[in-house]
Structure formats: C-alpha cells, structure tokens
Amino acid sequence: MKEILIKLLTLLGIAQAGGSIQEGQAGYVFTLKNHDGNVVRLSDYRGRWVVLYFYPKADTPGCTTQAKEYTKLMPEFEKLKVKVFGISTDSVDSIKKFREKYGLTVEFLSDPKGSVAKAYGVTLIAGFCSRDTVLLNPELKVEKIYRGVDPSADPTRVLDYIKSKATRS
C-alpha cells in the first residue's frame, strides 16, 4: 500500500523517488554542511563504520525520539569507532537549534536539495526525507539499508548489527 501511495504522489509531483542503490554497492560519497556550518566529507570516514540516518524534519516527535535514542547510545557507537550522521533537508540553522534544544550529540547534516538522500534511495515527499537508515561498512560500501524505520528502535537495531559484525572480526 505504501509503495502505491508513493507512486501516486510521484505522479502528482509531490514525491521524488530515490535512486536504486543496493546493499554491497559503493556508497555515494558526498560533501555536506553540518549543524555548525562546517564541511563534512564522507570520504574522511573511510576505515570506519558510518550510519546515515535520514529523517523528515527536525524537532518533530519521531525525529526527536530517534535523535535522543542515538544520543543515548552514542558512547557505545564511539567505542566501536562508528560515526553517526543524521541527515535531513532542514537548513543548517534549523538543525543547529534542534541539536542545542535537546542537548543532542549526533552530528547533523543539511541536505537542502535532497541530493544525498535521493542517491541513497530515500524518497522525498513534499521535500521531506522518508525515515530510512543506511549503514556503510569501513570500505564505505552499503552494508545494510533499513527503510521506513521505527524511530525508537532504529538506533538499537543498527548498534546490535555493528556489534555482531565486530565480534566476528
């Protein structure tokens, strides 16, 4: 049903379907500005696991829940040398205010045109990202793609997956 709705919204020009990136493919290497306006290059994180979680809009209930859950687990992610980025089409100013308001430790990135989101297969509906998470392995290849995630459960699921891979290494 969801796919039919997205196709209909796409036909009406309200939604833009993302690309068809698959697990195992090289990740789309991007440069975006973070919440402080500093340039962040994905290529600088080669050799580390990277979490790209896409969310619709800063300071809305689901997005706040997801960001708080990632922040709560940030010490565990950092211990495993995992970099977590929250990405939306929000402005740098908007994500900075969001981060400060809740004392969040996630590094937020502004993707105002949604180009990075679309490259990772994230659907944009009326300019807002769907709630998807993409996990990149240390070679910056797409390891896992989670579509339509539950904002409260996503951070734990991602951390558990990375832990399972780390114990096999």
pLDDT of residue 125: 82
Express each pLDDT in 80-95 by its tens digit: 999 999 999 999 999 9
The boundaries of the domain holding residue 97 are 17-168
Residue matched to tokens 């402005």? 91
Q: What is the mean pLDDT of the chain?
A: 89
15, 32, 40, 63: which is the annotated catalytic residue? 63
Identify whether 84 is part of a domain.
yes
Residue 141 has pLDDT above 80, yes or no: yes
Q: Verify whether residue 129 is a known catalytic residue.
A: no
Identify whether 77 is part of a domain.
yes
Average pLDDT over residues 104-131: 92
Identify whether 3 is part of a domain.
no
Q: Which residues 6+ apart lie within 8 Å of 115 measured at CB?
A: 30
Average pLDDT over residues 30-53: 97
Residue 167 near residue 54, CB atoms below 8 Å: no
The CATH number of the domain holding residue 124 is 3.40.30.10
Identify whether 109 is part of a domain.
yes
Identify whether 6 is part of a domain.
no
Domain count, the chain: 1
pTM over the 0.85 mark: yes
Amino acid identity for residue 93 in this structure:
D
